[in-house]
Amino acid sequence: MQVGKYHILIDCGDGTQYQLLRHKVSIQKIDYILISHLHGDHYLGLMGLLFTMSLNQRSKYLHIFAPFGLKDIIEAQLNVANSTLNFEFEVHEINTFESQVLVEKDALMIRNFPLDHRIPCMGFRVDEVYSKRKLKKEKLPMNLSPDQLKALTKGEDIQDTSGQLIKNESLTYPLEKSKSYAYCSDTCYSEAILDAIQGVDLLYHEATFLQEHAERAAQTKHSTAHDAAKIATLAKANKLIIGHFSSRYKELGSFLIEAQEYFENCELAEEGKVYLLD
């Protein structure tokens, strides 16, 4: 994800670095890596990515958020390689059973929330929240005080030296629209996540199975396409992307048909596709 100047990688399965390379995503720009849980398909590519970042002379600080256990694994893998990473990073081990704010930087806010899977697992909600208006610099009178400028960015009207009211909109651009994304993989159907993902512009929700295999979904704590669509409806999401399809299905059209029956604005996750939130 790109949010303003910040770059976020969510989950990092085996070989992720090569997929990023193939799709021309700069690994050195990544600021935050969020790992939902420690099943292999969600984190096994992390160590290779970190080694490559180091080999390629990364200097930027890196924050990794993950469930407990990842630090030890990274340390063991550095030990056997008799290596250190030549850039600064921190692994923040997170209690996946509680929601908290992980990142709050400029307009970016990242929060985690608990998912219900076979091992500790969390979803992420990423918000781009604009609370300050940008000033029309070329139209500003010369003699405004810092307090007046602050009032303008907050959307308030001000008075000029003669006591004349100046409408806010004449000196500021309209507030940029806030955008929100939530990522839910892996999880069984769970309405407990609704508060956390309420009203997002874009919801990614796993759909490992079709409804005809609902029993298998329940056993393995995964969701069906129908489950994902139901969650999107209840959360009043604007758009839904489903993915994480079991390899038992050779064609994926049925996932879309099943989901769209309950939630029309749905797409299948597609490798390398770029989704814009406008």
Choose, by CB under 8 A, the member of 61, 81, 261, 264 that binds a copy of itself.
81
**Residue 132 engages a copy of itself in binding (rule: CB under 8 A):** no
| Residue from the set 8, 30, 34, 38 that interacts with a copy of itself by CB under 8 A | 38
Catalytic residues: 41
Helix axes 253-260, 225-234, angle to 10 degrees: 30
* 51 vs 262 by CB, closer to a copy of itself: 51
- Asked whether the beta carbons of 87 and 49 are under 8 A apart, the reply is no
Q: How far is the CB of 14 from a copy of itself (least distance, A)?
A: 3
Nearer to a copy of itself, 119 or 129 (CB): 119
Q: Least Å distance between CB 51 and a copy of itself?
A: 4
For position 140 contacting a copy of itself by CB under 8 A, the verdict is: no
Q: Which two tokens stand for residue 159?
A: 């008075």
Whether the bond into 186 is cis, omega within 30 of 0: yes
272 makes contact with a copy of itself (CB under 8 A): no
- Count CB-CB contacts under 10 A for residue 100: 12
Backbone angles phi, psi at 120, to 5 degrees: -50, 130
| Cα separation, 87 vs 85, whole angstroms | 6
In the range 158-197, which residues lie near a copy of itself by CB under 8 A? none
Q: Residues 4, 23, 60, 69: which binds a copy of itself (CB under 8 A)?
A: 69
β-partners of residue 125 are 111, 182
- Give me the least distance between CB of 211 and a copy of itself, in Å please: 22
Q: Is 274 helix (H, G, I), strand (E, B) or coil?
A: coil
Contacts of 253 (CB under 8 A, 6+ apart): none
> Applying CB under 8 A, does 23 fall inside the site for a copy of itself?
no
The encoded tokens of residue 113 equal: 């929330």
208 makes contact with a copy of itself (CB under 8 A): no
- With CB under 8 A as the contact rule, the residue among 28, 31, 39, 249 that binds a copy of itself is 39
Nearest 5°: CA angle at 247, between 123 and 197? 20
Would you call 88 helix, strand, or coil by DSSP? coil
Q: How far apart are CA 13 and CA 202, in angstroms?
A: 22
Q: Which of 60, 118, 154, 177 binds a copy of itself (CB under 8 A)?
A: 118
Which residue lies nearer to a copy of itself by CB, 1 or 50? 50
Q: Closest approach of Cβ 191 to a copy of itself, in Å?
A: 25
DSSP3 helix / strand / coil % (the chain, rounded to 5): 30, 25, 45
Total residues in contact with a copy of itself, by rule CB under 8 A: 28
- Least distance (Å) from a copy of itself to the CB of residue 130? 38
Query: Residues in the site for a copy of itself, rule: CB under 8 A?
Result: 13-15, 17-18, 38-41, 44-45, 47-48, 51, 67, 69-70, 72-73, 76-77, 79-83, 118-119
